[in-house]
Amino acid sequence: MSIAWLQITATTHRAQLAEAVFEQFGAEAITELDAGDALTVEETPNSRPAFERARVVGLFAQGTPAEPIVAALAEALGRDAGIETNTLENRDWASAWLAEHPPLVFGERLWIAPHSAAVDAAEDAVVVRLDPGLAFGTGTHPTTSLCLHWLAGQDLVGKRVLDYGCGSGILAIAAACLGAAAVVAVDIDDQAVRATRENAIRNGVSDTIATPPIGAIKNGPFDIVLANILAKPLISLAPTLFELAAPGAPVVLAGLLTRQVDEVVAAYAAGLAFDRPQVEEGWARLVGYRAVA
């Protein structure tokens, strides 16, 4: 018997609000498309197509009641939003995801692509292969995109990297494929850790990536600390992430909205000096550097 998924689609001018509602109700996956079915992904480096009205698709586990989610969407998005619900068989979800997620390129040589997708890349390209899973994270969301762009521009050879809140493992795996000597990936969600391990094996970097319990991180301090989570946990984790960064190390913070930048910077101001925030579709990435003693 195949697993059925609840799929809810909101067509709206307020895509970020729709995403927030889906996240609030525990969506297993969120995909954003424009109203004409074109993906909101990069076609060329540093270029992103713009559109006014989006289709935001949330995928929920079997048995999730649709009514509270639909009501919350209607309240948040207003009367002009179109909201649809349907049931998606597991095999249909995988096929739809693969069709809607072409390979993405970040920087000059880092690619994220489904396993079955052909990638027209240079010989020295680094290709990370990820398929749909319950712990989602495939590079299409602006927060992940901002982090992947930053990683693609770094010399990671020989570096020790921490991915705090690893999700699907996309950042940890990209770092390992780009030459990091050792990567530690942790998450409070056991399912995310399992997904990271499986994805690391499938990308041939399982020997480079360790997944210890989140309270038992070893091998620090790290040359690079990545934390693509949310603003509130970033603020509460400031002392922890600061201590895990080596002197001079960059600490990359993402998952925050532009209006939350000042609050997050203030939480780290005593220990990190920040570059100018980088922004994509209302989301921000911060890179701060721990002072050299």
The contacts of residue 53 (CB under 8 Å, 6+ apart) are 11, 12, 13, 34, 35
Relative to beta strand 54-60, strand 82-89 is: unpaired
What is the per-residue pLDDT for 217? 92
Query: Is pTM, for the whole model, over 0.75?
Result: no
| Domains of the chain as residue ranges with CATH | 4-100 (3.30.70.120), 143-290 (3.40.50.150)
What is the per-residue pLDDT for 44? 30
Taking the CB of residue 273, how many other CB atoms lie within 10 A of it? Answer: 11
Distance CA 79, CA 91 (A): 33
The contacts of residue 85 (CB under 8 Å, 6+ apart) are 6, 7, 8, 9, 66, 70
Residues of the chain with pLDDT under 50: 1-2, 36-51, 91, 93-94, 133-136
What is the per-residue pLDDT for 31? 73
Long-range contacts of residues 108-112, Cβ cutoff 8 Å, at least 24 apart? 108/45, 108/152, 109/152, 110/148, 110/151, 110/152, 110/174, 110/177, 110/178, 112/138, 112/139, 112/148, 112/170, 112/174
What is the per-residue pLDDT for 225? 98
Strand, helix or coil at 10? Answer: strand
Distance CA 267, CA 19 (A): 26
Residue 160: name the closest of 237, 244, 286, 253 by CA.
244
What is the per-residue pLDDT for 71? 93
